[in-house]
Structure 1
Amino acid sequence: MQRRSYGQIRITVAGALMYCAGTTIFYFVPAYLGGIERKFGVSPTDLGLLSAAELWAIACASAIGPLWISRFDWRALACFGALSALAGHTASLFVSSFDFLLAIRVATGFFGEGVLLALSYATLGHSRNFERSFSITYGVAILLGIAGLSASPELDRYLGTISVLAILAVASLATFAAGFIVPSGPKTATVVDTPDLPATESARRPSMGALALAAQGIWYAGAGGFWSFSEQIAATNGFTGSQIARALGVGTAGAILGSLLVLVVSKKIGSTVIIVASTAIMGAAILAFVLSQQLMLSSFFLVMFNMCCAIGTIYITGAICASDDTGRIAALVPAFQVGGMAIGTATLGYLINDFGIGAGPWMTSACFIVSIAIYLVARGRMSWGGAPRLRG
């Protein structure tokens, strides 16, 4: 069995550092926008514009990832992304104009967070056991997000500023370490194809990766659309604001549980079985949540949804990142995730407006069925082409 030139621990640590620096802003959005509102006194419309602009900047950096991921040294890219993110977060702490802040956040998302996030997937794709590496990374990012949100009120009073930006700046500074341990490029890793690996030990075929990307985008349209309107659905079912906040908080913990389950799941269970099963449970949890009139049950259904969403995300992303050694396909993951969530949220918004919350399970189920069908086609194409068959 050939060994990769970079140790698995270093790959996981480098990927985790860049992933956390690129995604923590997602978890900090409530505290982040609250701090911006207090400092600048802007409207909800302006806050939405600020958040969306940074999100799309991250997606755009990922969308053009194939153009730069194989042209530049990955160590230089990691340092460039970390420096850009550090400069952007630090400048955001001291800017006094909202328009200037908007420009800074777009640049930070594109040159900093977007570069780091795309590079994190390409780096983790070199792991011999992507699911394990990414589950650790995913869990750490969620814990960092929860810790930051919990500490932000006290830190705001102590620092007298928007503390989550300070936390993001520190995370970006720590990410400079990735520049010393990340592989220098796609050629530093050698494909390992052994029967003891999990189900993503595929021959690395770009066609499979492209289909898996499409499947993930549609899958995220269903999952992201539901999560965006989960608060509105709960309110329609008669729950109060405080009850909804508790239910969403408890539900988010399910993602941590899902990432932990991936660490202990048997390698004998193929990724296809896990993806199909977790997606089916997600669909059932969404339907049950829409119909539920009891807070405890609603919280349980949100836990199941987030747990299976984490599991499905890890294994679908594993299939994508295992499909080639260039990093080009892996770099596109954030773009398809963000794009899918944006399209799903917009579509479900129109459907709920016209048909009520009952449209939620129908749309999400349709997205899940189509995405699973595309994924199965991708899996079959690999098998028919003579590549090692995915287990399950």
Structure 2
Amino acid sequence: MKQHQKKIDSHTSLLGACALGTIGVKIFAILPLLLGIIAEHLSLDEAATGLVASSYFGAYFLVTLTSVIWIRRFSWQQLATVGSILVVAGLLLSAFLSDSYQGVLIGISISGLGAAVVYALSVTLIGDMTDKDRRFAIKLIPEQLIPALLMFSLPILVVQYFGLQGFLISLAAIIALLAVPGSRVPAKGRITQQTDRSAAPGRGWIFIGLLALLIYFAGFAGLWAFMERLAHDAIDPVAVGGLLALGLVSSAVGPAIAAWLGDRGGRIVPILVGAIITIASLVLLLGQLSVLKFALLMAVLPAAYYFSLAYIFGLISDADISGRLSSLISSALALGAAIGPGVFGFILESYGAETGYLFIVLSLSVGAILCLWVEVRLKRLELGYVSDDEKHDSQLSDSQSDNRSGTTKQSV
């Protein structure tokens, strides 16, 4: 068992998790660019363009929602291979049928299926590792840096000369390269041994953590989706595009700091500091927006947000007693990405920007507070500070377990 845990904690496994995570978020991260190229190539209106995004998110969410069923039943190496193939196949299908709206729609949906598989797998693998806060932070770095590099390079090197088809083929080729280290993950996850039910009081906290993540990410996703529109009227569009790419680079700086810190200071302070800085940076959006203010916003907000996100992933993984539910992190992110922009866009159009910013502040605040609540309960449970009702439930579970043929359970 110790030997298998060493394999899970190995650099090869971490590299595989980073590669799979990057595959899983790559299309989502560059989706604004991808949708713009598709809309221009096929002369689509906003409704038809939005349907492309909805088809991707719909397929992604449905697969991640069912991940609790299959994530530990099948070989992880096979899941990594199948998921990567689906992403590549979907992109190639969209490329070869790039003149057909239906063809692009189907291809992007297939890619969403595969991306969901590999991202759920990457999250579960990191959750099985020791020192998971640092490793979640490390995983976030390439997930932000690689899409940022693509946002800079592909429009100049590929789209300008080869259009949508060349863009999709380039994405498929890069994902095929990432699939090589991604296929070297362990065949299965950790083996958990539970000799009692002392952890029973906290078995439902993971759902509160997932709800917190959904709310926390919905606020950020809503703001990020409309960032270009918020800056468009005040800043040159070319400058906006460059600064948005800077924001993607900045979003890798936060996890890099979290990876350096690890869990030395616990999770409460990093989550609190990250959330406060993220909320405080929204002040830069008030009043007349300038290039300097927008650049400062892009340098601070993504870094602070993703810094806290690494620790939120860690606490949700710790709250997952069964080892099966942490894969739903990807579902919470997908649902937050679907809800946030819609709600923020409605508020923005109906009540104005300042009310929209209030929604962002509330989402970030409520999400962070719920995360802190879960972390405090986990620490109390770890130190043995449980309530009388929790102790009674735990003792009752132990008594029922003693009446069965054994008290040791193993789950893969």
TM-score, normalising length: structure 2 = 0.82
Q: Residue 350 and residue 98 in structure 1: after superposition, are their counterparts in 2 closer, same or farther (change >3 A)?
A: closer
SS of the aligned residue for 2:204 comes to helix
Matched with 1:184 is 187
Correspondence list, 1:150-189, <5 A: 150-153=152-155, 154-156=157-159, 159=162, 162-178=165-181, 180-188=183-191
Aligned partner letter, 1:93: A
What are structure 1's unaligned runs of at least 5 residues? Answer: 192-201
Q: Residue 155 and residue 235 in structure 1: after superposition, are their counterparts in 2 closer, same or farther (change >3 A)?
A: closer
Which stretch shifts more, 332-341 or 379-388? Answer: 379-388
| 1:298 and 2:314 correspond | no
Matched with 1:90 is 92
Report the identity percentage: 22
Matched with 1:117 is 119
Matched with 1:198 is none
SS of the aligned residue for 1:128 comes to coil
Aligned partner letter, 1:54: Y
Matched with 1:132 is 134
> Separation in 1 of the partners of 2:89 and 2:20?
16
> Separation in 2 of the partners of 1:266 and 1:385?
21
> Separation in 2 of the partners of 1:382 and 1:243?
45
Matched with 1:212 is 209
Cα drift, residue 71 of structure 1: 2.0
Equivalent pairs counted in the alignment come to 377
Correspondence list, 1:148-297, <5 A: 148-153=150-155, 154-156=157-159, 159=162, 162-178=165-181, 180-188=183-191, 206-235=203-232, 238-265=234-261, 267-291=263-287, 293-297=289-293
Q: Residue 351 and residue 179 in structure 1: after superposition, are their counterparts in 2 closer, same or farther (change >3 A)?
A: closer
Q: Residues 285-320 of structure 1, C-alpha deviation per residue, up to 9 Å, x if partnerless? A: 113323354321232123211111110111111211
Q: Residues 247-284 of structure 1, C-alpha deviation per residue, up to 9 Å, x if partnerless? A: 33333332122122123226432211100111011111
> Separation in 1 of the partners of 2:69 and 2:373?
27
Q: Residue 302 and residue 272 in structure 1: after superposition, are their counterparts in 2 closer, same or farther (change >3 A)?
A: same
| 1:105 and 2:108 correspond | yes
> Separation in 1 of the partners of 2:256 and 2:62?
31
- Contact 1:8–1:128 (8 Å) recurs in 2: no
> Separation in 2 of the partners of 1:5 and 1:250?
37
Which stretch shifts more, 153-162 or 41-50? Answer: 153-162
Q: Residue 178 and residue 328 in structure 1: after superposition, are their counterparts in 2 closer, same or farther (change >3 A)?
A: farther
Aligned partner letter, 2:134: R
Q: Residue 79 and residue 189 in structure 1: after superposition, are their counterparts in 2 closer, same or farther (change >3 A)?
A: farther
Matched with 2:81 is 79
- Contact 1:321–1:330 (8 Å) recurs in 2: yes
Q: Residue 326 and residue 268 in structure 1: after superposition, are their counterparts in 2 closer, same or farther (change >3 A)?
A: same
- Contact 1:126–1:189 (8 Å) recurs in 2: no
Q: Pairwise CA RMSD of aligned residues?
A: 2.8
> Separation in 2 of the partners of 1:106 and 1:388?
47
> Separation in 2 of the partners of 1:293 and 1:150?
23
What are structure 2's unaligned runs of at least 5 residues? Answer: 386-412
Matched with 2:400 is none
Cα drift, residue 152 of structure 1: 1.7
> Separation in 1 of the partners of 2:40 and 2:363?
38
Which stretch shifts more, 162-171 or 361-370? Answer: 162-171
Which stretch shifts more, 347-356 or 120-129? Answer: 347-356
> Separation in 2 of the partners of 1:167 and 1:188?
39
Correspondence list, 1:328-339, <5 A: 328-339=324-335
Correspondence list, 1:25-36, <5 A: 25-36=27-38
- Contact 1:32–1:162 (8 Å) recurs in 2: no
Matched with 1:360 is 356
> Separation in 2 of the partners of 1:330 and 1:174?
27
SS of the aligned residue for 1:268 comes to coil
- Contact 1:21–1:168 (8 Å) recurs in 2: no
Correspondence list, 1:46-61, <5 A: 46-61=48-63
Q: Residue 181 and residue 151 in structure 1: after superposition, are their counterparts in 2 closer, same or farther (change >3 A)?
A: same
> Separation in 2 of the partners of 1:387 and 1:329?
23
- Contact 1:22–1:117 (8 Å) recurs in 2: yes
- Contact 1:14–1:181 (8 Å) recurs in 2: yes
Correspondence list, 1:34-49, <5 A: 34-49=36-51
SS of the aligned residue for 2:72 comes to coil
Q: Residues 56-86 of structure 1, C-alpha deviation per residue, up to 9 Å, x if partnerless? A: 2112211111121122221211111122222
Matched with 2:404 is none
Aligned partner letter, 1:118: A
> Separation in 2 of the partners of 1:211 and 1:24?
27
Q: Residue 124 and residue 168 in structure 1: after superposition, are their counterparts in 2 closer, same or farther (change >3 A)?
A: farther
Q: Residue 249 and residue 265 in structure 1: after superposition, are their counterparts in 2 closer, same or farther (change >3 A)?
A: same
- Contact 1:292–1:298 (8 Å) recurs in 2: no
Q: Residue 44 and residue 276 in structure 1: after superposition, are their counterparts in 2 closer, same or farther (change >3 A)?
A: same
Aligned partner letter, 1:152: L
Matched with 2:25 is 23
Cα drift, residue 206 of structure 1: 4.1
Matched with 1:342 is 338
SS of the aligned residue for 2:190 comes to helix
Cα drift, residue 149 of structure 1: 2.4
> Separation in 1 of the partners of 2:239 and 2:182?
44
